């Protein structure tokens, strides 16, 4: 019981102070029939640190870590190198074990970090303001659709075919019960993003918002400005979704191309894969919409001595205060992951982020060229950042498993993301980051060649 400091002597003395003879008397409001007497079924007694470490390490060894193999998976979660100082700094107890900064005088560390994080995200996205993070990219996208509905007082969200299908699924879940209509369709294995079809759809409807992913689920990129113009002509907002923020070290920010709200996943910078969570949702918008933005916000102010300081602000929109009048579901945020993002971004700086982006793109371009030469394989998109789609001569799902047998995690099959869309079954999405070596390229090329036979 190494985490419980009370001794039996302490317990007796405290019971005496309270005026009861046994601790069970403190549970007397629990009806007799509801009490759980006796041990918890099957749960062993408390275990030593060594014992727990052994049990969990045994489970961990049954998994194949991305760092152990040639690894090319993306589609919303990316393997990047995280500098050692990031994890070291977030493990400082004053960051790791602090609460939400509701007492600003003794939480300036967290609050200044959040202010810096917001400033970094706003600049990266090309927006004026950003919040202190969301649960993840998918919930951020849903909240953005809700925000657009509040601003435009309309309830149709047109979602472009290139948006991550799991993000769309989250939007559909939430929409069912809030009166929002979601219009979306699955992509096809085309080189371009079919912007003309989207423009026509916008013109033919009265949407609250148009949602476009950049780069999209197949890795494609396109100019968002014409889509923004079309959305604005109908009084709708353009929501841009970015699942790979490193791309913005090289590519124009969505905010510069007319996006009104930019949301996405920050996992690539500082956070790590974590089997899908914890991640960190990013959320930015125009300053005029700040009071409709969900989530926490750190704001600058001064203290009684006139010194600059930071506080949580505009929280009257928030769930814990507003009861039934709250405008979003977010209650907590991803503070620690936002810290990791911010530290990694500070280490990179503009120069490092640009170099990292260029390196990612160059590596991806080099590999795409090689894989396009594998017999039977077609490179679907020629405009991409660090992720591209291949059409294989065989079904991609079994091909992925055959590559696993060769010790290569070769990509995400579109069949896994779109089980109900057989026409996508031969699609394989390959992500390439700075972590992939030339030897990894060789291994993937060989495994893919074999799997395509």
Q: Rounded CA gap, 162 and 110, in Å?
A: 36
Contact stretch for other proteins (CB under 8 A) within 152-160, 230-238, 245-253, 439-447: 245-253
Q: Whose CA is closest to 265, among 247, 245, 285, 251?
A: 245
> SS3 of 359, please?
helix
In the complex, least distance from residue 186 CB atom to other proteins, rounded to whole angstroms: 14
Identify which range of 193-201, 227-235, 398-406, 440-448 contacts other proteins by CB under 8 A. Answer: 398-406
* 168, 186 contact by CB (below 8 A): no
Which of residues 156, 186, 189, 326 is near other proteins by CB under 8 A?
326
Q: Which is nearer to other proteins, 204 or 287 (CB)?
A: 287
Q: Is 41 in the site for other proteins (CB under 8 A)?
A: yes
Q: For other proteins, give the closer residue by CB, 304 or 375.
A: 304
8 binds other proteins (CB under 8 A): no
Q: What is the CA radius of gyration of the chain?
A: 25
Q: Is the CB of residue 202 less than 8 Å from the CB of residue 102?
A: no
Q: Is 202 in the site for other proteins (CB under 8 A)?
A: no
- Applying CB under 8 A, does 242 fall inside the site for other proteins? no
- Residue 254 half-sphere exposure, CB side, CA atoms within 13 Å? 32
Cα(237)–Cα(155) distance, integer angstroms: 12
Cβ atoms of 378 and 390 closer than 8 Å: yes
CB of 204 vs other proteins, minimal distance in Å: 27
Among 70, 135, 211, 387, which residue interacts with other proteins (rule: CB under 8 A)?
A: 135
Helix (H) or strand (E) holding 431: strand 427-431
Region 43-72 residues binding other proteins, contact defined as CB under 8 A: 43-47, 49, 51-53, 55-68, 71
Measure the N-to-C terminal CA separation of the chain; round to a whole number of Å: 58
Nearer to other proteins (CB atom), residue 209 or residue 297: 297
Q: In whole angstroms, give the CA distance from residue 62 to residue 355.
A: 36
CA angle (414 as vertex; 59, 78 as ends), nearest 5: 55
Q: What is the torsional sign of CA 429, 435, 438, 442?
A: negative
Binding track, positions 411-440, relative to other proteins; x by CB under 8 A: -x---xx-x--------------x------
Contacts of 21 (CB under 8 A, 6+ apart): 15
| Footprint (CB under 8 A) of other proteins, residues 150-179 | 164, 166-167, 169-170, 172-173, 176-179
Please identify which residue in 217, 230, 253, 448 interacts with other proteins, judged by CB under 8 A.
Answer: 253
Piece of 182-190, 197-205, 291-299, 370-378 that binds other proteins (CB under 8 A): 291-299
In the range 339-378, which residues lie near other proteins by CB under 8 A? Answer: 339, 343, 345-356, 358-359, 361-363, 365-366
- # residues near other proteins by CB under 8 A: 209
What minimum distance in Å lies between the beta carbon of 188 and other proteins? 20
DSSP bridge pairs for 265: 281
Q: x/- contact string, 302-321, with other proteins (CB under 8 A)? A: xxxxxxxxxx-xx-x--xxx
From the CB of 453, what's the least distance to other proteins, in Å?
19
Neighbour order of strands in the sheet with 281-285: 129-130, 281-285, 261-265, 237-242, 209-213, 156-159, 181-183
């Amino acid at each position: 019981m190494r985490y419980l400091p009370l001794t039996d002597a302490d317990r007796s003395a405290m019971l005496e102070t309270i005026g009861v003879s046994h601790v069970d008397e403190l549970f007397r409001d629990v009806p007799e029939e509801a009490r759980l007497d006796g041990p918890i079924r099957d749960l062993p007694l408390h275990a030593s640190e060594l014992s727990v470490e052994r049990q969990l390490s045994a489970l961990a060894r049954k998994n194949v870590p991305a760092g152990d193999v040639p690894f090319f998976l993306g589609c919303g979660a990316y393997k990047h190198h995280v500098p050692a100082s990031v994890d070291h700094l977030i493990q400082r107890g004053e960051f790791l074990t602090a609460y939400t900064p509701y007492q600003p005088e003794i939480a300036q560390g967290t609050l200044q970090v959040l202010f810096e994080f917001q400033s970094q995200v706003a600049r990266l996205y090309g927006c004026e303001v950003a919040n202190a993070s969301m649960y993840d990219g998918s919930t951020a996208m849903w909240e953005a659709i809700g925000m657009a509905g509040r601003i435009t007082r309309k309830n149709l969200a047109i979602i472009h075919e290139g948006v991550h299908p799991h993000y769309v699924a989250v939007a559909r879940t939430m929409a069912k019960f809030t009166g929002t209509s979601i219009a979306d369709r699955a992509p096809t294995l085309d080189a371009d993003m079919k912007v003309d079809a989207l423009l026509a759809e916008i013109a033919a409807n009265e949407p609250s918002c148009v949602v476009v992913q950049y780069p999209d689920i197949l890795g494609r990129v396109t100019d968002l400005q014409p889509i923004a113009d079309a959305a604005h002509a109908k009084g709708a907002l353009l929501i841009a979704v970015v699942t790979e923020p490193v791309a913005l070290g090289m590519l124009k920010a969505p905010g510069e191309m007319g996006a009104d709200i930019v949301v996405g996943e920050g996992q690539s910078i500082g956070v790590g894969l974590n089997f899908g969570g914890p991640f960190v949702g990013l959320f930015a918008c125009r300053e005029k919409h700040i009071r409709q933005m969900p989530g926490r916000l750190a704001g600058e102010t001064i203290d009684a001595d006139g010194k600059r300081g930071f506080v949580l602000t505009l929280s009257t929109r928030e769930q814990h205060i507003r009861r039934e009048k709250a405008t979003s579901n977010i209650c907590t945020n991803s503070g620690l992951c936002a810290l990791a993002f911010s530290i990694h971004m500070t280490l990179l700086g503009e120069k490092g982020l640009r170099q990292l982006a260029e390196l990612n793109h160059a590596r991806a371009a080099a590999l795409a060229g090689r894989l396009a030469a594998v017999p039977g394989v077609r490179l679907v998109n020629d405009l991409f950042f660090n992720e591209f789609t291949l059409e294989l001569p065989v079904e991609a799902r079994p091909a992925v498993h055959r590559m696993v047998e060769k010790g290569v995690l070769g990509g995400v099959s579109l069949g896994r993301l779109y089980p109900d869309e057989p026409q996508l079954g031969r699609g394989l999405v390959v992500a390439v980051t700075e972590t992939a070596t030339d030897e990894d390229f060789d291994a993937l090329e060989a495994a893919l060649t074999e799997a395509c036979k």
